Structure 1
C-alpha cells in the first residue's frame, strides 16, 4: 500500500465525515488525545514537556502538509486557517501542561 500526497488528506476527510464534526473540533480533540497518548507511550506525566512538544511537532507537520497540499484563494486566508488550526490544537494541551506543572494537585489529587 503506497501513501501518496493526498492520502493524509483523505484520512482527515474520512474522520471528518465519519464523526460529523467540523475540522476545528477535530483539531481540539486530536490535540488532547495525542497529548494523553504521548504521555502514556513515553511513560511520563502531563507535567513533562515531551508530550506537549510531540503534539506541537505533529501539528506543525500537519499544517506544513496543509500549506503544501491545499490551495486557498489568498495567502492570508490560507495562513490564517493554519494559525487558527495551530491555536485550536495547542490551546488545551498547553492548558493541561500548565495546570499539571503549576497545580499538580488539581489533576491528581496529590502534590508533585
Structure 2
C-alpha cells in the first residue's frame, strides 16, 4: 500500500524502500523473538542483522530514516481503508498457505 501511495515521487519511493529494507533486516527480532526467549536466541537474531549490514552498509541510516518518517508511514496506513488492508492480508495468507491461479 505504501508503494502505491509513493507513486512516482522519488522521496516517497525512498521512504518505502528504506522502510522495507529496515524491516526486512530486523524481521528476526520483530517477528521471531518471544518475551521468554533468552540471550542466546536474541544474539542469534542479531547475527541476521549483522549479516544484512555487511551486505548493505546504509542499513543503519535506512532504519533511522524510517523512524524519522514514521508519521508519514502511519498516515499512509491510515489513509487506506480496511478493504485494501484486508485484501493485502488475504493475499499474504494465500501466499503462505495456498496457490494463486491466474487465468
Q: When the two structures are superposed, what TM-score results if normalisation uses the length of structure 2?
A: 0.32
Select the structure with the greater relative contact order (CA < 8 A; seq sep ≥ 6).
2
TM-score (normalised: structure 1): 0.30
